[in-house]
Amino acid sequence: MTITDRPVDNGVDVGALLAARDALSASPDAAAFTWRASCTWQRGTHSHATVSGFAGLGTEHLHRTTYDFDLDHPECFASADLGATPVEYVLVGLVGCLAAGVASVAQHRGIQLRTVTASISGDMNVLGILGADADVRNGFDSILVRFAIDADASREELEALVAQSQKRSAVFDVVTNPTRVVVELD
């Protein structure tokens, strides 16, 4: 690591996160969060979704603004391609979660980041979702994430950074471990 007079600043307030950890450990009810989205079907495989609020710290929160998303299937599936596909949303969430983790852990470890880019790819045999082969799963066979990081740190430190980001990533856990999902009709 290069020693400079400038303090490390990746834009992550680690002090606030550590304070939150202490405060929530002392009052675990406040640590119960509920994240939400709403979805309205448009036509065909096109849906529109919004994310506006969530619950946590014992109260309701509104995002700074409502986030809007269009989801669709691509033209090669005879759809209109009016948005990214649902599985691409999962890849976006996973890579964004790992990138936020890299920044947070780097701040905590005193590593100044210059640039962080990542590519993510997920292999899928679509005979599963098409119902053509019962032995083929619907989801990804496997996912590969590749980070390129320019930072004041050794390769060993950067590898440890990426490993710690995985260890604390919510979406990495969601994708690599099973989660109970209940789907109901109103």
Please report, as residue ranges, which positions from 73 to 92 form the binding site for a copy of itself (by CB under 8 A). 73-79, 81-92
Helix 86-108 / helix 14-26 crossing angle, nearest 10 deg? 100
CB atoms within 10 A of CB 142: 8
CB of 119 to a copy of itself, least distance (A): 5
Query: Is 55 in contact with 33 (CB distance < 8 Å)?
Result: yes
151 binds a copy of itself (CB under 8 A): no
What amino acid occupies position 36? R
Calculate the alpha carbon distances from 81 to 49, 70, 71, 163 in Å. Answer: 15, 10, 8, 35
CB of 126 to a copy of itself, least distance (A): 5
Q: Is 106 helix (H, G, I), strand (E, B) or coil?
A: helix
49 binds a copy of itself (CB under 8 A): yes
58 binds a copy of itself (CB under 8 A): no
Smaller CB separation from a copy of itself, 7 or 11: 11
Smaller CB separation from a copy of itself, 3 or 13: 13
Tokens coding 83: 């948005």
| Nearest residue to 141 via CA among 119, 125, 120, 121 | 125
3 binds a copy of itself (CB under 8 A): no
Choose which of 3, 38, 109, 112 interacts with a copy of itself (CB under 8 A): 38
Choose which of 1, 41, 58, 154 interacts with a copy of itself (CB under 8 A): 41
Give, as ranges, the residues between 86 and 145 that touch a copy of itself (CB under 8 A): 86-100, 102-104, 113, 115-133, 137-145
